[in-house]
Copies of this chain bind each other. A is one copy, B any other.
Amino acid sequence: MRHNMQDRNKILLVAAENLLKKDEIEKVIALLDKLHPADAADIVSALPEDYQKRIFESWDIPHAADAFQEMDEREQVDIVDLLSTPLISDILEEMAADDVADLLGELDKRDAERILASMNREDAKEVLSLMQHKEDTAGGIMTPEFVALRKDMTAQESIELLREKAPSAETIYYVFIVNRENQLVGVISLRDLIIAKPDQRIEEIMNPDVIYVDVDTDQEEVARIMSRYDLLALPVVDHEHHLLGIVTIDDVVDVIEEEASEDIYRLGGVTREERLDSPAIESIRNRLPWMAFNLATAFLASSVVYLFQGSIAKLAILAVFMPIVAGMGGNMGTQTLTVTTRGIALGQLEFKEGIRVIARQVGIGIAIGASTGLLASLVAYFTGVNPYLGLVLFLAMTINMGVAGLAGAGIPIALRLLNQDPALGSGVIVTTFTDVFGFLTFLGLATLMIRLLI
């Protein structure tokens, strides 16, 4: 099918709504079953709750599970609230254990326990063992459903084993090899397996240099490794080197998007829970504490202005130029913060020293501050402002944009050294620095030179 899902899905949504109004639920299900599960999930998610409930109650379990698995966690939680425990358990039993573990982690503990109790024992056990790992680690995103080969099998035997087991394994494009103790000893791609001679032993054709991660490795690191080495699957081992599961590339694509969103949100000063379609009241509740903190930082900057009220009373033009110094510093700080945070995320700091990076950003800040400061003072001069005020403007902008380079690069690098997320030093912290120092340098210098200015 040509990809034009958005327009097509909108049309299908209207069609489904019309059928539902006429109570033709079977026709809606027939329509959904013809679609890719991701599209079916989209359409069901956009329907009113009572229709969602009725569709899931009439749907055959495998199709329902396929579509349910494609929804995002927030939509899944909403659906879980609509359906009976036995129905939900049936759907979850059809799903990949890692996705079930993620979903149950989002539910109330009591709800999760009730659903687990109603699932068949083996599936529930698998899910429970996954839930022991933190959600954002290799253990949290791996799947335990994979096929491992023993190193003494032949290529032919291996292919037959895969033929038999494949339908239940999430991916077999890479097959991992273990010894008798279930310890990871090698890897072979399905491609190499089928191009091997049938009687070759796995041990001879496998690659013993297999790249793997420990179960508690951060998911961002997992994504970095898979992207760096172009892997489709990455094995996860425990501290005794036993193979526990594999992380597949489709999960990593989600991780990369999630981590990029997280960085973007943090830099913009919003929590990652907030979406464009969140209810307004939820957005307000999410943002208020942060904005109250912002208000405190704004008062901090204002208190600097308060100290210099006397100078402003004598020379109101200071209030006109003061926001230019603070604002330009803020922009410079945000730029530096962006480059530094992203550079750290993309591993550009690898062979470099933090101090040198910070020194360079301070230099860049001073250079740009001096250039734009000169420009600003010329503009001021030609509009008839006292030339000494132009000089104050030039000096304050140069100094403050050096401070912007220092704060914009120094804060995320310091956070990184403290093993914190560099994006935590969000824009607001940096602009507080540039506001405070902007007002301080400009109004301070002006106060020192006040006799020359009046």
What residues of chain A have their CB less than 8 Å away from a CB belonging to chain B?
1-3, 5-6, 9-10, 13, 36, 38, 42, 46, 159, 162-163, 166-167, 172-173, 190-191, 194-195, 209-214, 217, 221, 225-230, 232, 249-250, 252-254, 256-257, 260-261, 263-265, 267-270, 274-277, 280, 283-284, 287-288, 291-292, 294-295, 298-299, 301-302, 305-306, 309-310, 312-313, 316-324, 326-328, 330-332, 334-335, 337-344, 346-352, 357, 360, 363-364, 367-368, 371-372, 375-376, 379, 427-428, 431, 435, 439
Contact = CB atoms under 8 A, between A and B. Distances in A.
Given A302-B323, A323-B435, A364-B280, A291 B331 contact: yes
B327 A435 contact: yes
A54 B267 CA distance: 43
Contacts of A339: 265, 268, 270, 274-276, 283
A249 B260 contact: no
Contact of A163 (B6, B166, B195, B221): B195
A121 to B, nearest CB: 28
- Please tell me how many copies of the chain the complex holds: 2
Contacts of A299: 324, 376, 379
B260 A428 contact: no
B249 A280 contact: no
A348 B264 contact: no
Q: Rank and list the top 9 A-B pairs by shortest CB-CB distance, nearest first.
A: A268-B338, A276-B343, A260-B260, A319-B319, A313-B316, A230-B250, A276-B348, A312-B316, A298-B324
Chain A, interface SS category: helix
A10 B351 contact: yes
A195 to B, nearest CB: 5
B351 A323 contact: no
A334 B298 contact: no
For A167, A214, A367, which residue has the most chain B Cβ atoms within 10 angstroms?
A: A367
Nearest to A41: B228
A69 to B, nearest CB: 10
A368 B287 contact: yes
B276 A349 contact: yes
B309 A317 contact: yes
Contacts of A328: 291, 294-295, 298
User: Looking at A264, A301, A330, which has the most chain B CB atoms within 10 Å of its CB?
Assistant: A264
A59 B193 CA distance: 30
A344 B6 CA distance: 13
Nearest to A380: B299
A218 to B, nearest CB: 11
Contacts of A261: 260, 342, 346
Contact of A319 (B210, B270, B322): B322
